[in-house]
Amino acid sequence: MTTPEIAQPRSSTRAVSLKGGGRNRSGQTNFELYSWLFMRLSGLALVVLVLGHLFVNLMLGGGITALDFGFVAGKWANPLWQVWDLLMLWLAMLHGTNGLRTITNDYAEKDQTRFWLKALLITASIVIVVLGTLVIFTFDPCLDPSSTLSVCSK
Amino acid sequence: MWSWVAHRITGVGIFFFLLVHVLDTALVRVSPAAYNEVIGTYKNPIIGLLEVGLVAAILFHAFNGIRLILVDFWAKGPRYQRQMMIGVGVVWVVLFVPFVIRHLSHVFGG
């Protein structure tokens, strides 16, 4: 029988093996800690971003009846709303993806099922975040021939 | 316990709406007509009622989330978690009632 090699506490070999990779003593990263903290910080920001979004789009003016291409064009003519929507998109998608990851880890018991569900989740999330970001940055208000925005009146 | 379950259920529901909502908004890159047609379905009375459900879920998730943050980070949070649950209910009603009145009067053309 061979005795497993266990380094002395505080010996140099042990210190080296614990260093790097952001890993703690049990050989795990702090990923779950940062994810827990991110849910709380992004959640706080999202309360303001999402409730502000709902108030401006559904409560002010004509509410849902006023929503059309011109409404979006008018909003995104203002850099404040571009930044607002971009932040909301990224934070909400990361917050939601991380939440579904936690739920998948809790309820999908088979390794295979868990792996494929998370692969699907992450793929879908990347597609949506990239698409949404491109839409905000490449939006062209003058696609609408009847646009009354000053940028289109040339 | 039930608030923990409700937080998960509302969270999953909001997430799937978000996926669809980014896709429908992406139609502004296709054409004004395509966007207007699809956003028009959101003005339909049945979908209008689903939007009331969506906002109900968002308001619960938002304020229950703030309660969770206070339980985790505020020293007295765990002691007052029950009172804070009542607070979540009060804030929920105060914001939800005006929303329902205004939104349904838009949807049903009041």
Q: Which of A46, A134, A143 sits opposite B32 (nearest CB)?
A: A143
Distance from CA of B1 to the nearest CA of A (A): 15
Q: Which of A96, A132, A143 sits opposite B31 (nearest CB)?
A: A143
Which residues, 6+ apart, have CB-to-CB distance to A3 below 8 Å?
A: none
Q: Cβ distance B101 to A58 under 8 Å?
A: no
Tens digits of residue pLDDT in A5-29 = 776 665 555 455 555 555 666 667 8
Average pLDDT over residues B67-96: 93
Which residues, 6+ apart, have CB-to-CB distance to B81 below 8 Å?
A: B67, B71
Q: What is the CA radius of gyration of chain A?
A: 24
Which tokens sit at A28?
Answer: 């795990």
Read off the DSSP letter of residue A58.
I
Q: How many domains does chain B have?
A: 1
| Domain span holding position B43 | 2-107
Residues in chain A: 154
CATH number at residue B91: 1.20.1300.10
User: Taking CB atoms and an 8 Å limit, are B51 and A47 in contact across chains?
Assistant: no
Q: Which of B12, B17, B18 to mutate to test the interface with A (most CBs of A within 10 A)?
A: B18
Which tokens sit at B47?
Answer: 């979908």
Tens digits of residue pLDDT in B1-42 = 789 999 999 999 999 999 999 999 999 999 999 999 999 999
Identify the structural domains of chain A with CATH numbers, from first to last: 29-152 (1.20.1300.10)
* Count of beta carbons in the 10 Å neighbourhood of residue B46: 8
Cα-Cα-Cα-Cα dihedral of B86, B92, B93, B98, to 10°? 160
